[in-house]
Structure 1
């Protein structure tokens, strides 16, 4: 009879969180038919009011997401909160509110 050792999955690295968050941000831009987050952000100064409004909302949301991420990951590194899974962490992030 052999002994099977079950090891817990390794905790995500900072690069794992960063990659997942960047994918989420790009996906929100693609939800609105932009190629990427970078593409959408370039429309902030657009002469098309609807595109400029979407870009402004997106950039404000993106900034809120990264502010939250940095604050919460700092809490993890200082021991103020346990390290979340990537799935759980993504679920905590602020949601975008698109203009009407």
Structure 2
């Protein structure tokens, strides 16, 4: 489904703002000795979980009761949990904020 690919692309693009290759790459820093990288990973994990939970709930609701007009992926993504709510801070790649 296009929505799933677009949500994953959004997650990865957000992680790339801080210099990570993908969200999975960011999450791999969870136990890093560099506090900022570990904080990025912790925020990314919480955000990812909330995003996918909300996206799958939206998908199930839309399947059970299809809207007359489906919103675009961008419109759905705008309604999903945003990274800042989970402590995500955009910073220069490699920076320790």
Q: Which has the higher contact order (CA 8 A, sep 6+)?
A: 2
Q: Does 1:94 align with 2:78?
A: no
Q: Which runs of 5+ in 1 are unaligned?
A: 1-14
Instruction: Name the Cα RMSD after superposition.
Output: 1.4
TM-score of the pair, normalised by structure 2:
0.80
TM-score where L is the length of structure 1: 0.78
Q: CA deviation at 1:84?
A: 2.2
Does the residue aligned with 1:73 lie in a helix, a strand or coil?
helix
The one of 43, 46, 50 aligned to 2:29: 43
4+ residue segments displaced more than 6 Å = none
Q: Deviations over 1:14-64 (max 9, x none)?
A: x20111011100000001111111110100111111110111001100110
- Name structure 2 gaps, 5 residues minimum: 90-96
